[in-house]
Amino acid sequence: MGIFDNAEMKKAKRQYKEEMKQLGEAMKPTGKIFMCAKWDDNLKVISIGSMGIGTIVKYDTIKDVQVFESVKEITSTKSKGKEKRKGVVTRAAVGTVLMPGVGTLAGALTAKKQSTGESEAVTSQEVTRTIVLTRDDPFKTVLNIPYNAKLEVKLRSILADNTNQTTQNAETPQIEQFSSSASIADELIKLKELLDAGVLTEEEFAAQKQKLLQ
């Protein structure tokens, strides 16, 4: 029983990776954020990451977008010409952060200075923010992404569209609605299977793929 379950899981992962690969190759970016993300509003997919190692996310799988903030206190102590530093995580905040910036914000947001006759201690705070994306995915439902203000705006825009679409679907339950991105992805997978089986040549596969993407 366990062996069969493991085999089915491996097969499902192969199919999943193939689908993501096909979507990545089919993307024609309609927008991008340098070294962070690119997306195709027609295919309805976004690739998060850079240097060819982005994670493909379908728009309709995005369920929640949150921003986590953690604050670390850093204390520097100088004593007779020597300096010691230590850091302590003090708190974590959940929700949208309104301050601008990308990735880690480091600096003396609040600074405290204490001194004695022989030593002086300065405490500052380092703030790190992370986008936490929750999606409907069979293998990895939560993605932790270094904070980028533009990326947060884009992801929240996609989430808002998903919410509106869900509301419309609830108002017309008798009508089956399928996203164009899902249909195209399914057709691409079928074409790849025909190519692997030798039914289609490379030229025929390329021609059929081009027709789907037009």
Domain assignment present for 172: no
Reported pTM: 0.60
Q: Are 114 and 120 in contact (CB under 8 A)?
A: yes
Domain assignment present for 133: no
Domain assignment present for 68: no
Model confidence pLDDT, tens digit, residues 72-126: 888 877 765 555 555 544 444 443 333 334 444 444 445 555 655 666 778 888 8
Question: Would you state the pLDDT for residue 181?
Answer: 57
The first and second tokens of residue 175, run together, are: 């009508």
In this structure, what DSSP letter does residue 203 have? H
Alpha helices in the chain (DSSP H): 2-26, 149-171, 180-196, 202-213
Q: Which domain holds residue 189?
A: 181-213
Domain assignment present for 137: no
Residue of 122, 127, 114 whose CA lies nearest to 84: 122
Give the chain's domain count.
Answer: 1
Q: Are 25 and 147 in contact (CB under 8 A)?
A: no
Domain assignment present for 13: no
Domain assignment present for 205: yes
10-residue stretch averages of pLDDT, the chain, 214 residues long: 71 91 93 94 94 87 94 77 50 40 43 62 87 94 95 96 80 53 73 78 80 73
Domain assignment present for 209: yes
Question: Would you state the pLDDT for residue 165?
Answer: 82
Domain assignment present for 127: no
